[in-house]
Structure 1
Amino acid sequence: MDIKQVWQDYRCELERFLRSRISNPEDAEDLLQDIMIKTYQQLHTVQDPSKLRSWLFQVTRNAVVDYYRQSRQVPPDASFLMDEGTERYEQARQELSECIHLFIKQLPENYRLAVEAVDLRGVSQKALSEELGVSYSAAKSRVQRGRQMLAGIFESCCRFELDARGNIIDYQSKGICVP
């Protein structure tokens, strides 16, 4: 693959992608140049030409993550950093879903039942109140408090990087956290 042709084919698309995620045009241009250098250095590692576009966008997403990490800014919408369907997203999702069941078991029973019903089984809070024989307000409180407790357990065991909407874009375990 020829770097000149690759850059000619994808430069504008990558630049639009960067400018949609980084408000400072100069920073976006600097990142684009860094991505061009990385592409020049690593293009030989792309085995399948049909995967070139995906590889370029992964390099670009990683550059944006690094930019925000270095500048300690929160991106306006970082949900693109862990796109659904990517191997990284699926791996993180699987690992966190395994943890959530263990962590839910650590909740006091009334909160555990509420969180399991609403968040795992998809029961509405209204139906939960009827199921438990408590007021709607009490059911909502149990779900909210259970979620807060669960978040506390997660925060004590993991460091999370969140996007502007509060979605997890990356995480790192603080150690082994089991009941």
Structure 2
Amino acid sequence: MVKILYSEEEIARQVQLLAGQISAHYAPLVSISYPLVVLPVLKGAFVFSSDLLRRVTVPLRVEFLRASSYREGTVSGGLELDIPETAFLSGHHLLLLEDIVDTGRTASQILATLKGCGPASLQICALLDKPSRRVAPVEVHFRGFTIADRFVIGYGMDLAERYRELPYVGELEECTF
């Protein structure tokens, strides 16, 4: 059984708000010839990114990156990171799109790697922010919702590759496979 924390409608409203904030922030900084480079973190942020990017009104380019720290459960393991070539990122304004920022370890490692690419700026947009669990200093510049310490699924987020297809963000009331 899944307890719904954020409905489809609540998420849609928040995504629209985030798109407006991002568009307003980057409008004076980017152009067609020098677009905002958006970096959705796969796999979790793909649904959020798809909905968000269709509402952003500034020129942008999408470069996917893959970061994985959860394997077959709810406990974080070692980080595996695959990022685009530096030539695609250097000198551009970069916006990292995350499904959730939890402890901050993953985001911190991604940021450190991306800073080495020489961006004009680097910021994070996350659908969910869980600051109560933060152990690495990470600032979420654009946030959809701040949540308590819960393991969430749906809207692209998973438990062992399950539940990504749910159109809402929920919490499992009982963990069964």
Same fold (TM over 0.5): no
More helix by share: 1
- For the aligned pair, the TM-score class normalised by the smaller chain equals under 0.3
Larger relative contact order (C-alpha < 8 A, sep ≥ 6)? 2
More strand by share: 2
User: Quick check: which has more Rg, 1 or 2?
Assistant: 1
TM-score normalised according to structure 1 size: 0.22
TM-score normalised according to structure 2 size: 0.22
